[in-house]
Amino acid sequence: MSLFNLILKSAWHYRKLNLTIILGIALSTAILVGALIIGDSVKYSLQQITVQRLGKTSQVITAGERLFSTQLADELAPKTGTETAALLRANGFGVIDGGELRINQLAVWGVDSMLGHFANDYESFILNGNEVAINENLASLAKLKVGDEFLLRLNKLNTFPANTPFVSEQEATVSFRVSVARILKPDELGNFNLQNIQSAPRNVFLNLKWLNEQMGLQQKANVLLVIEGVSDAELVQNLQKCWKLKDVNLEVRENQDLNYTELISDRVFVEPVVEQFCTKNIPGSQAVFSYFINEFTLNGKQAPYSFVSSDPKLTGNQMTVSKWLAEDLGVKLNDTVRLSYFEVGPLRRLVLKDTSFVVGQIYELTGEKADQNRMPVIPGLSDADNCRDWKTGVPVDLKKIRPVDEAYWKEHKGTPKAFVSLETAQKLWGNRFGQSTAIRVDGLQKAEFEKELLAGLLPSQLGFEVRDVKTDGLAAASGGTDFGGLFIGLSFFVLFAAVLLAFLLFKLYLGFRKTEIGTLTALGFSFSAIRKLFVAEASVFVLAGILLGIPFSIFYNHLILQAINTIWVDIVRTSIVNIHIRPVSLIMGSLIIDVMSFTAIWFILNRFLKSEVVVLQKRTENKQSHFLSGRKQLKTVESSRKTTVFNRLQSPSVVSKLNRIMSGRLSLNLGLFLITFSFFLLFSMGFRSGEINPEMFFISGFGLLPGLILIFDFWIQRLAVQEKAMRFSLRTMLLKRIAGERRRNVMIVSFLSVGVFMVVSTGLNRKDLTAHADLPSSGTGGYEWFVETTMPVLFDANSKPGREDLNIPVTAELVQFQSQPGDDASCLNLNKISRPRLIAFNPAAFDTRSAFMFATRTDDLDAKHPWLTLNRTLADDVIPAMADQTVIQWGLMKKVGDTLIYKTEEGKDLKLKLVGGLANSVFQGNVIISEDHFNRAFPSVSGSNVFLIDSPDNSLTADDLHTGMRNYGPEIIRTTDRLLAFYTVENTYLNIFLMLGALGLLIGTLGLGILIFRITFEQIPEYALLLSLGFSQSIIQRMVMREKFFLMIVSVFIGLIPAVLSALPSLMSSLYSNLWVWLPAISVLVILSGAIFSFVAVRVAFRQNLVGALRND
């Protein structure tokens, strides 16, 4: 016989009980390791989604709104030694079944066979004519199959920004019918997406060349993909070597007659960065600014629609006019001629202005003055054969055009009729797109000019950006929401209950072996030796529990992932979360359970040896303490050992009564204080200017809970003190039994009521977003509709023609936002986002109606007019920005006061300081700045695609908006519904907590069952006695069950009352009417499971040899 044998034999002898401990530990292991695996699985799945959506793409080259030549990809490939693909990306919407179904927010990709190289499938992207390949997500949404046709409408891409002054917006979209040739699976690059988001896009792939043709483009692209194998730095270097002027929409042309070389842009205006480079680095370069004016006026005579150009030799308000104009208007030297023109602002806002000039010279329309190249290339205008064919972006009154004007156009086209100083031209007509329409250099060869430009300009200055999307995507997938931690948090109550269960089982186990421990002590085993013996024995079942728990954890993980992929899909927004097990998580989880188990075992053993065994040794000295619980026995032993003078003078009953009264009063006073304080908080702060303050309700409930537990404790103590006054009956007996086990009963009630409170109050505490949604201070800003269009609305929707075009009544309030694409930083995206979508607007609209509320502020935020802060520029050119506090905190993992860095179109850093965090609003996922700052940083971004609309009389319906905005592919949603969509995530988390919490409560009641089991077994002699006194088994069982029922009901009530109080705002909400169901559900769960466990315990106890319990020791 060795100690090892003893351990094994003991483990085997108590195998039934050990098995329950093993199961308890296995359950804890399953929950903890399972939660860690969930974290691994979600992370792994996000990474897989990233790999799937990018294929072999490593880096991406984009140029903002700019289109570059597809040849850039061809030239870059051999230089970098890797493969590249040029893509043309456009937004669009599909009209299916003759308009029965419209699918917005389509990502349309012009592709060629090269994209197949990124998907290991060379065939997939070989598309001819109007053939399209769509991804499964779109096919499923639109119910499209191979062979189906639908109408595709796209925003027409141009080499110039859509809102370039004078360019007609009639060219903004293009539509054509397409035929579905292929439906691509995710692993066929069907979900190709450059945004860091797990949800599948709605992809349409078209032949690149064909798409170019439909848009009137030639070999243009705006996305360039690079396969793995080249570093970012190498790519940037090679891009510098490969780029051509046509890739940045620049062209150098020579005029040998007039001996100059000039640089012009497809974008009408030469970008400031290019102009600055030329004037600084190319000797003799001179900016030219030509502008389309409405009319010249002199003495009541007008000459309409002409070009005016710049002459560097002029200054101030000097003007030279052509002889043609002089004759037309009768201009003489020193006459003052008035020029009227449109100043074109953002969103094509036109301001009619006029300025007067003094005529200093009248020139002949010959030589350089007759140079037609002075007229910039403006699509729709400069290429028109006659004035009546003009398609301009500004209103042209064709009635004003005279035959002489037509004749002039036919002969001279847009040759300027007058010149003003460059300085004045730039001052009057300079805009966000540029300060010149050409850069001229006399005598410089075209090739030399081009060489200078290509060598001196950096692609990054012109909007080119190289992004390592694979690395960024994988980092975003890894750094996002930690589902492992999240599920440990959500499963906390289950985990706690499981651990508690294991500990209770171990304590029960020790209780069964109390006599054995006493024997070992009597045989000379030291406490230390006994402890070691039991720890060694415990290690057997801890190890067994962990080993058993690991497969359980995988099963638990399967269950949770199944739920995540189906009923809880709102929290992940994808249905492809797959299990992934990392050995390190298994080891870590097992180690945590191991450490927790041994710490608990050590603690329980120490306490047990110090209390129970001491009593055991003393039992022979004090046999009448047979019925007393361990703690009471210890007290009795101690009191018998330490008889003091005080004890002799005062009878023990007086002392204990005094103690009970004192501690009873303490419980009462403390309990009443907590209850009073809770209600004081509720009534003083629970209602804020007529509105319910849910946080205060929660705090009040939280305070009420211990108050009620203390009152229950007082009541039990009161029972004990007032026992004599009670008429002795079965009911009295029941109450006395409860009072007699005060500590245990208060512990049971505390444990269960806290559990009920935590689960119910947290699970039910939801925010009602529909309440007061019409108030400007709410998360809707008081607006009714949130609209996102697929295609940008290029004009001012608040203008009269704008409202007419969109069918928006004049009474409706409308705010439109420009946007710069970025990742979705809302709670709908699990990835870690560093650059959310930027949206910009005129903050005056929100300032006027004091819209939205700020959850957090910085000192920069103006106290009275917080929204107007957005118009300011802070120190070091930092721009103020705002976002939802949730986005700042969870999406960006930052705080107000922090700075976000974006890149401007010129490749410069755009520093945005988060000056305020909005309380939950419809802007979740976006960063907001003012339109002034936005237009400076992103001049090429044309139009707006986000709208907030409110009609005071609620007369504007979704159908009205759909009708008015149908050409823009609108996604129309009520602001309240948009908020609810965000809260669906939060509410799903709450549902998970509620469900796992209920599971935890169930396990908790199982633990309680064990406690009841232990108490019941300890009370076997009592039952035997009652049996001997003539009590029938059924009476005894009824009595015990009533006692347990009473405790369950009290626990549920004590837990529910504060829980209902704390969740009252949610419960009263019409939005969450189904929440009330949880109250009886949780109550029944606790009461029923507690009753079942109690019943089983009592039944098992009665199967024991009760009579034997009465036998003499």
Partner 1 sequence: MLLKLEKISKSYSKDRTILDQLDLEVNAGERIAIVGPSGSGKTTLLNLIGTLDRPDSGKMYFENQDLSEFSDQQLAQFRNEKIGFVFQLHHLLPQLTLLENILLPTLTDKKLQGKETLERVQKLISRMGLSEVAHQKPSELSGGECQRTAVARALINRPGLILADEPTGALDQKSAFNLTDLLVELNQEEGVTLIVVTHSMEVAKKMDRIYTLQEGKLVMI
Q: Does 737 bind partner 1 (CB under 8 A)?
A: yes
Nearer to partner 1, 547 or 1020 (CB): 1020
* Amino acid identity at 398: L
Q: Does 567 bind partner 1 (CB under 8 A)?
A: no
With contacts defined by CB under 8 A, name the span among 229-237, 595-603, 619-627, 1000-1008 that binds partner 1: 619-627
DSSP annotation of 642: S
Nearest-approach distance from CB 583 to partner 1, in angstroms: 53
The two beta strands, 438-442 and 285-288, are antiparallel
Nearest-approach distance from CB 1106 to partner 1, in angstroms: 8
Q: In sequence order, what are the beta bridge partners of 96?
A: 101
Nearer to partner 1, 797 or 1027 (CB): 1027
If binding means CB under 8 A, how many residues of this protein chain bind partner 1?
Answer: 42
Q: Does 1102 bind partner 1 (CB under 8 A)?
A: no
Of the candidates 16, 280, 724, 864, which one interacts with partner 1 according to CB under 8 A?
724
Q: Does 1110 bind partner 1 (CB under 8 A)?
A: yes
Specify the 3-state DSSP secondary structure of 802: helix
**Longest C-alpha distance within the chain, in Å?**
137
Of the candidates 1033, 1049, 1053, 1096, which one interacts with partner 1 according to CB under 8 A?
1033
Tell me how far apart the alpha carbons of residues 714 and 667 are, in angstroms, rounded to a whole number. 5
Nearer to partner 1, 361 or 629 (CB): 629
Task: From 389, 127, 90, select the one nearest 215 (Cα to Cα).
Answer: 90
Tell me how far apart the alpha carbons of residues 570 and 580 are, in angstroms, rounded to a whole number. 21
Structure tokens at 286: 């001179």
Q: Does 1040 bind partner 1 (CB under 8 A)?
A: no
Nearer to partner 1, 358 or 1035 (CB): 1035
Nearer to partner 1, 181 or 1024 (CB): 1024
Nearest-approach distance from CB 1029 to partner 1, in angstroms: 4
Nearer to partner 1, 656 or 669 (CB): 656
Nearest-approach distance from CB 1045 to partner 1, in angstroms: 19
Tell me how far apart the alpha carbons of residues 118 and 55 are, in angstroms, rounded to a whole number. 5
With contacts defined by CB under 8 A, name the span among 75-83, 511-519, 692-700, 1032-1040 that binds partner 1: 1032-1040
Nearest-approach distance from CB 720 to partner 1, in angstroms: 8
Q: Does 730 bind partner 1 (CB under 8 A)?
A: yes
Q: Does 1103 bind partner 1 (CB under 8 A)?
A: no
Nearest-approach distance from CB 1113 to partner 1, in angstroms: 7
Q: Does 1025 bind partner 1 (CB under 8 A)?
A: yes
In the shown chain, the binding pattern of residues 132 to 171 toward partner 1, with x for contact by CB under 8 A and - for none, equals ----------------------------------------
Tell me how far apart the alpha carbons of residues 1109 and 1113 are, in angstroms, rounded to a whole number. 9
Quote the radius of gyration of the chain (alpha carbons, Å). Answer: 40
Structure tokens at 162: 């859509």
With contacts defined by CB under 8 A, name the span among 13-21, 327-335, 500-508, 730-738 that binds partner 1: 730-738
The residue written with tokens 């730095």 in the block is 233
Taking each continuous run of H as one helix and of E as one strand, the counts in the chain are: 35, 33
Specify the 3-state DSSP secondary structure of 58: strand
- Measured at the CA of 1045, the angle between CA 1039 and CA 1050, to 5 degrees, comes to 130
Q: Does 864 bind partner 1 (CB under 8 A)?
A: no
Of the candidates 497, 1027, 1057, 1097, which one interacts with partner 1 according to CB under 8 A?
1027
- Return phi, psi of residue 776, to 5°: -60, -30
Of the candidates 231, 1028, 1076, 1084, which one interacts with partner 1 according to CB under 8 A?
1028
Cα–Cα distances (Å) from 917 to 604, 808, 858, 887, 979, in that order, read 49, 31, 9, 9, 16
Q: Does 430 bind partner 1 (CB under 8 A)?
A: no
Q: Does 1029 bind partner 1 (CB under 8 A)?
A: yes
Tell me how far apart the alpha carbons of residues 34 and 48 are, in angstroms, rounded to a whole number. 20
Structure tokens at 401: 């055009």
Nearest-approach distance from CB 555 to partner 1, in angstroms: 44
Task: From 1058, 1082, 1080, select the one nearest 757 (Cα to Cα).
Answer: 1058
- Return phi, psi of residue 909, to 5°: -70, 135
Instruction: Return the residues of window 523-542 that contact partner 1 according to CB under 8 A.
Output: none
Q: Does 1031 bind partner 1 (CB under 8 A)?
A: yes
With contacts defined by CB under 8 A, name the span among 121-129, 568-576, 723-731, 1066-1074 that binds partner 1: 723-731
Region class of 51: left (phi > 0), else alpha (psi between -120 and 50), else beta: alpha
The two beta strands, 84-96 and 336-344, are unpaired
Nearer to partner 1, 8 or 1107 (CB): 1107
Nearby residues of 472 by Cβ (< 8 Å), 6 or more positions away: 196
DSSP annotation of 812: S
Tell me how far apart the alpha carbons of residues 127 and 205 are, in angstroms, rounded to a whole number. 8
With contacts defined by CB under 8 A, name the span among 43-51, 522-530, 878-886, 1103-1111 that binds partner 1: 1103-1111
Nearer to partner 1, 643 or 1070 (CB): 643
Q: In sequence order, what are the beta bridge partners of 255?
A: 260
Q: Does 736 bind partner 1 (CB under 8 A)?
A: yes
Q: Does 1020 bind partner 1 (CB under 8 A)?
A: no
* Amino acid identity at 677: F
Q: Does 658 bind partner 1 (CB under 8 A)?
A: no
Burial 876-914 (b: 16+ CB within 10 A, else e): eebbbbbbbbbbbbbbbebebbeebebbbbbbeebebbb
Nearby residues of 45 by Cβ (< 8 Å), 6 or more positions away: 198, 574, 576, 577, 578, 580
Specify the 3-state DSSP secondary structure of 90: strand
Nearest-approach distance from CB 632 to partner 1, in angstroms: 7
Nearer to partner 1, 253 or 626 (CB): 626
Q: Does 1112 bind partner 1 (CB under 8 A)?
A: yes
Tell me how far apart the alpha carbons of residues 929 and 918 are, in angstroms, rounded to a whole number. 13
Nearest-approach distance from CB 1094 to partner 1, in angstroms: 19
Q: Does 1021 bind partner 1 (CB under 8 A)?
A: yes
In the shown chain, the binding pattern of residues 623 to 652 toward partner 1, with x for contact by CB under 8 A and - for none, equals xxxxxx---x---x--------------xx
Helix, strand, coil percentages (3-state) for the chain, rounded to 5, are: 55, 20, 25
DSSP annotation of 266: T
Nearest-approach distance from CB 599 to partner 1, in angstroms: 34
Q: Does 722 bind partner 1 (CB under 8 A)?
A: no
Q: Does 653 bind partner 1 (CB under 8 A)?
A: yes
Length of the chain: 1113
Instruction: Return the residues of window 58-117 that contact partner 1 according to CB under 8 A.
Output: none
Chain Cα centroid distance, residue 1058: 32
In the shown chain, the binding pattern of residues 190 to 219 toward partner 1, with x for contact by CB under 8 A and - for none, equals ------------------------------
For 383, other C-beta atoms within 10 Å of its C-beta total 12
Of the candidates 67, 331, 542, 739, which one interacts with partner 1 according to CB under 8 A?
739
- Return phi, psi of residue 665, to 5°: -65, -40
Q: Does 723 bind partner 1 (CB under 8 A)?
A: yes
DSSP annotation of 347: G
Q: Does 747 bind partner 1 (CB under 8 A)?
A: no
Tell me how far apart the alpha carbons of residues 478 and 44 are, in angstroms, rounded to a whole number. 8
Nearest-approach distance from CB 1025 to partner 1, in angstroms: 4
With contacts defined by CB under 8 A, name the span among 119-127, 572-580, 691-699, 1017-1025 that binds partner 1: 1017-1025
Nearest-approach distance from CB 635 to partner 1, in angstroms: 9
Tell me how far apart the alpha carbons of residues 422 and 270 are, in angstroms, rounded to a whole number. 14
- Site residues (CB under 8 A) for partner 1? 623-628, 632, 636, 651-653, 723-724, 728-730, 732-733, 736-737, 739-741, 1021-1022, 1024-1035, 1107, 1110-1113
